[in-house]
Amino acid sequence: MEASPKKSQQRRKPEKRTIGRTEVNRSDLEGLQRAWREKDLVLFLGAGVSRPYGIPTWKDLVLEILFDQTDVARRLEPIDLPSRRALAAWLVDYYEYDPIILARVVKNEIRRRARRSGESSDGRDLFLEKVREHLYPDHPPEPREPTALTAVADLVKRSAEDSGVAAVVSFNYDDLLERKLAGSVDFQPVWNARRSRDKGLPILHPHGYLPREGDHEVCDIVFTEDDYHGLTTTVFHWALTSIVGYLRHSTVLFIGLSMLDPNLRRLLDASYVHGDVPAHWHLQRRHTIEPREVRDVLRDVRNRARRFRKELRIPPPEEMPPLEEAIRAVLQQADTYDRNLFEAMGVKTIWLEDWDDIPPLLDQIAAG
């Protein structure tokens, strides 16, 4: 009698490597190490890399500049920066404002003020100066390092002629990475179609580049909806051509990106050949809530349920449903949705237990 094949057909659990609090599939780590050895690794950076240094997200930036242009600005002066951002976030959620629309309001208001003061008709210089003013805080926080930013900088510094990071694509306006690399690495920021003869690591800024210091006349940023339209409707736009080239021919590691940008997902779809093994990786923290936050989340969910019952004229149940376990189950399901969504676009997910695990993970990529 033949032995039952059942045992041999069982799927093996992937081997794991523990880095900090995070368990990483050995195959994922080896794939990134291979890309490093072949100098095929390209880093795509998002707002999460700059946020610990006080750099606002695009949404926060829009709201801060908007408030600054209104009569309410004087009333907000005594309020500290975190409270102002919290107030702005609440306003957007409460009134269901779309930040994309508010960005247009910001730009139009600055243009109107520029015309009133007799400046250039388009108000470009005033607009960029306002963005710079709110992009870089006067008293930036000093996060405990290493951070994702310093880990990226260290990874770049360890690159050699035949191994390491081939390029960086930063969707941020700021120059934090450039300042971390200054004096150690030859690099070339790229934010428009002009090609420089200077050699060095290309650091692409598809949404524009606005350094903390220097002349902003040569700078430009993608800020409003119509700016994005100009980016996506141009067939051979330099940024789209570069991004698609990296997605098709290199191994990309996404760091600090939520992957919510529909334009990025569109480019991923356009670059991925369905059926192929996913070629890229995304660092994502698991959807969890800390024990100390559970009570606040439960209160929020119950308040929302109370409002829905009022709108629908549904009486409350005799017994309140057990929501805590349901919340945890929904968060676990969100992990599954994200993993399947990204894999369908050619991106594997490395689930982090803590953002602090990014520096040792990047260190392991180069160490391999």
Q: How many Å apart are CA 162 and CA 37, to the nearest integer?
A: 7
**26 and 93 share one domain:** no
C-alpha of 201 from chain center: 21
Tokens matching residue 104 = 């247009």
CA dihedral 125, 130, 136, 140 (to 10 degrees): 150
Query: What pLDDT, on the 0 to 100 scale, is given for residue 217?
Result: 62
* The domain boundary residue, chosen from 135, 159, 182: 135
Closest by CA to 41, choosing from 164, 155, 162, 158, is 164
Question: What is the Cα–Cα distance from 132 to 65, expressed in whole angstroms?
Answer: 10
Per the CB < 8 A criterion, the answer to whether 28 and 253 are in contact is no
Q: With b meaning 16 or more CB within 10 Å and e meaning fewer, what string describes 23-45?
A: bbbeebbebbbebbeebbbbbbb
Adjacent-strand bridge partners of 214:
none
| Residue 334 and residue 212 in one domain | yes
> Could you tell me if 210 and 177 lie in one domain?
yes
- Residues in the chain where the model's pLDDT stays below 70: 1-12, 69-77, 95, 118-122, 195-198, 216-218, 231-235
- 244-278: pLDDT as tens digits: 999 999 999 999 998 888 888 888 998 988 777 88
Which CATH number does the domain housing residue 338 bear?
A: 3.40.50.1220
CA distances from 261 to 46, 182, 220, 257 (A): 11, 30, 20, 9
Residue ending a domain, choose from 101, 135, 169: 135
Same domain, 103 and 159: no
pLDDT at 70: 64
| 81 occurs within a structural domain | yes
Tokens 């334009």 identify what position?
Answer: 263
Let me know whether 200 and 94 are in one domain. no
Please state, in angstroms and rounded to a whole number, the distance separating the CA atoms of residues 333 and 196. 47
pLDDT of residue 8: 47
Q: Does 93 fall in a domain?
A: yes
Residue 106, both tokens: 């910001």
Query: Considering the domain boundaries, does residue 2 fall inside one?
Result: no
| Distance from C-alpha of 213 to C-alpha of 206, rounded to nearest angstrom | 20
- Given a contact cutoff of 8 angstroms between Cβ atoms, the answer to whether 32 and 252 are in contact is no
Q: Taking a C-beta distance cutoff of 8 angstroms, is the pair 10, 348 a contact?
A: no
Q: What pLDDT, on a 0 to 100 scale, did the predictor assign at position 205?
A: 95
Asked whether residue 266 falls in the same domain as residue 158, the answer is yes
Q: 270: domain range?
A: 15-51+143-291+321-367
In angstroms, the CA 307 to CA 313 distance is 10
351 and 277 share one domain: yes
**The total number of structural domains that make up the chain:** 2
Can you give the pLDDT at residue 1?
46
